[in-house]
Amino acid sequence: MQNRKLKIGIVVGEVSGDTLGAKLIRSFREQGIDAEFEGIGGPQMIAEGFKSYFPMDILSVMGIVEVLKDIKKLFAVRDGLVETWTKEPIDVFVGIDAPDFNLRLSKSLKQKNLPIKTVQYVSPSVWAWRQGRVHGIKASIDLVLCLFPFEKAFYKKWDVPAAFVGHPLASQLPLENPIAAAQQELGLDQRTKHIALLPGSRRGEIERLGPLVLSAAESISKKHPEYIFLIPAINDARKQQIEALLQQYPEALQTKVRIMENTDTESKIGRQVMNASNIVALASGTATLEAMLLHRPMVTFYKLNWLTYHVVKFLIKIPYYSLPNIIAGKKVIRELIQHDATPENLASEIEKLMNIETAQIQSMQHLTMHKQLLAGNSEDPVQSILNTLNQ
């Protein structure tokens, strides 16, 4: 396989996937493997020479009701990729996260009986909910690249080929992370205390969760005027959306909120904002792992369409929603989900983290979990993919 140029298809649907995709492309090159990459990628992957047939944002849809609205567009994208790779086959397809789309795409490629190996990088949360999906994964995926050791153990029970490759952020982010250096990087006043507010990077998330964080900030600001609020925006469109929301609040709050727009291809403004903040309040998702690895005290929240939420609640098999709590196997951070996700509750949880002792206890727990992730025996994703190609 390595005697000719490999053709590798990759599909990502959000910033975190774009980061993993760019790192994977670099890893292939660093190991001297001649390969070309195409599919759906973001700015980081494109900067590495990736050929993207569709913009990454086209897959940035979450929730059952939300997906149904865009189902025709998503089918058209999937069918377009299948047609392209039927005419000019790739050697391997790597779906990075975005499991609802990528697993269906892998299934479609298998149904065509194409000589394409299929890899899912970042396991869908089958260990948490909808465990029946493991049968579909076994039928359509040749290899699952897992970020956490407990995921590989789960797949072993079902006889699904899997490799624990570790989460790149665990080794990328240092165990010591001074807040002063992070504040200096963003040009912030180090004498001021900051609260990071992350309602999400998708348009729909900001629409749904933006009012929650801004209303909580308004309440906090009245009692704690010494705090400045930082909200990251991954692009100009999201910045304008947040600015429009902020205009609906009193001028007193507007002066306390700084919208920090991303300025590079790595789209790391969310991480920078969390790193430079004393307290982090963020939507439940991949970013909770980043906040944990930055050892910042945090509270997480999420609200879905009511129908989506009730379906998810019925299917979920574990007691927690956020990665830090799932990894710890206990409640380390407070989760405000659906009806609990109110401005009053969010403001109250943020205020609890203003207590230095409470914040330090949580930060130490984050550090312990960081060390645990580093201690795992991880495998190399590139070599794992090549081994699957040679089988």
> pLDDT tens-digit profile of 10-64?
999 888 899 899 999 999 999 999 999 999 999 999 999 999 999 998 886 544 4
**pLDDT at 70 (0 to 100):** 67
Strand, helix or coil for residue 13: coil
Tabulate helix, strand, coil % of the chain (nearest 5).
50, 20, 30
How many other C-beta atoms can be found within 10 angstroms of the C-beta atom of residue 109? 23
Provide the residue count of the chain: 391
Rounded Cα distance, 370 and 166, in Å: 12
DSSP structure class, residue 353: T
Burial of 83 per CB tally in 10 Å (0-12, 13-18, 19+):
exposed
Rounded Cα distance, 109 and 116, in Å: 7
The edge-to-edge listing of strands for the beta sheet with 227-233 is: 257-261, 227-233, 193-198, 279-283, 298-302, 334-337
The yes-or-no verdict on residue 265 having pLDDT over 70 is no
**pLDDT at 64 (0 to 100):** 42
Domains of the chain, start order: 6-166+378-389 (3.40.50.2000), 172-374 (3.40.50.2000)
Average pLDDT (122-137) is 84
Where do the DSSP E strands lie in 97-199? Answer: 117-121, 143-146, 162-164, 193-198
Rounded Cα distance, 334 and 351, in Å: 12
Angstrom distances, CA of residue 345 to CA of 148, 185, 214, 237, 303: 31, 32, 13, 29, 13
**pLDDT at 386 (0 to 100):** 97
Q: What is the pLDDT of residues 226-246, one digit of tens each?
A: 999 999 999 999 999 999 999
Q: What is the pLDDT of residues 103-127, one digit of tens each?
A: 999 999 999 999 999 999 999 888 7
How many other C-beta atoms can be found within 10 angstroms of the C-beta atom of residue 380? 14
Rounded Cα distance, 201 and 180, in Å: 25
Q: What's the mean per-residue pLDDT of the chain?
A: 90
The answer to whether 155 touches 144, Cβ cutoff 8 Å, is yes
The yes-or-no verdict on residue 132 having pLDDT over 90 is no
Angstrom distances, CA of residue 116 to CA of 37, 84, 357, 379: 14, 13, 54, 22
The answer to whether 15 touches 233, Cβ cutoff 8 Å, is no
Average pLDDT (69-94) is 90
**pLDDT at 334 (0 to 100):** 97
Predicted TM-score (pTM) of the model is: 0.71
